[in-house]
Amino acid sequence: MPMLYTMPGTCSLSPNIAVAWLDAPVEVHAMAYGDHKKDDYLAINPKGKVPALRFDDGDVLTEASAILAWLGAAHGGEGYARDTKLGRKEAEALSYMTSEVHADYGGHFGPQNFAETDAAIEEVRRKTYEKLDGHYRRIDGILNDNGGEWYLGQRSFADTFLYVLTRWIEKTPLSFDDYPALKKHLGRMEADEGVQLALKRQNMEPIGA
């Protein structure tokens, strides 16, 4: 059985939720924070990051969007076919969330990687939160325009990654109250049984807002 490697507080929660929604035959392994830098895991994923999906033959798939694509193709049935309007929009949304929004968190989680002096690091943080606020306002508008329930108007894997990004708002100086549609989406996700199972498997708790 394939094994999905996860870690609390990370974007690996996204494919973890997808596994729960699909009831896919995938074992979820939650590592303690820091284990992703140990030799045992680096032998599986030399990037030292989660998620990683290890197959029975030893092949390893990394990157959340790639794992979500495999889950949909292997276990999602026609409802997760990529060659549909929903499938195309889902791929677009996940690409944006993973390559732009997630990437812009670099200035929050590791500002020292972009600057050296205290003043420069503070400037990096300020610009980071400006960028993130722009992303969240855009996402909030799209969510609201699509009915406010699901990001693309119906449930998709985009909602799993959006939930991760929405949880991260509490780690920043930004306020949930500035993104009312996202705030409601977070509550809807945390009432979902699959999300609750994924949180439990990853040793995490709902945050509310």
Contact (CB, 8 A) for 186 and 177: no
Domain 3-78 has CATH 3.20.20.70: no
Task: Indicate if the pLDDT at residue 44 is higher than 70.
Answer: yes
Distance CA 117, CA 125 (A): 12
**What's residue 58's pLDDT?**
95
**What's residue 102's pLDDT?**
95
**What's residue 89's pLDDT?**
93
Distance CA 192, CA 128 (A): 31
Task: Indicate if the pLDDT at residue 82 is higher than 70.
Answer: no
Contact (CB, 8 A) for 14 and 157: yes
**What's residue 52's pLDDT?**
97
Distance CA 102, CA 49 (A): 14
What are the tens digits of pLDDT across the range 91-149? Answer: 999 999 999 999 999 999 998 999 889 999 999 999 999 999 999 999 999 999 999 99
**What's residue 175's pLDDT?**
96
Task: Indicate if the pLDDT at residue 209 is higher than 80.
Answer: no
**What's residue 208's pLDDT?**
82
The domain ranges of the chain are: 3-78, 80-192
Contact (CB, 8 A) for 27 and 3: yes
Task: Measure the CA angle with vertex 91, ends 111 and 182; round to 5°.
Answer: 60
pTM, entire model: 0.94
What are the tens digits of pLDDT across the range 46-66? Answer: 999 999 999 999 999 999 999
Contact (CB, 8 A) for 180 and 140: yes
**What's residue 79's pLDDT?**
63
What are the tens digits of pLDDT across the range 142-183? Answer: 999 999 999 999 999 999 999 999 999 999 999 999 999 999
Phi, psi (rounded to 5 degrees) for 117: -80, 160
CATH class of 80-192: mainly alpha
Distance CA 172, CA 41 (A): 29
What are the tens digits of pLDDT across the range 17-32? Answer: 999 999 999 999 999 9
Distance CA 39, CA 26 (A): 23
**What's residue 96's pLDDT?**
97
Task: Indicate if the pLDDT at residue 10 is higher than 70.
Answer: yes
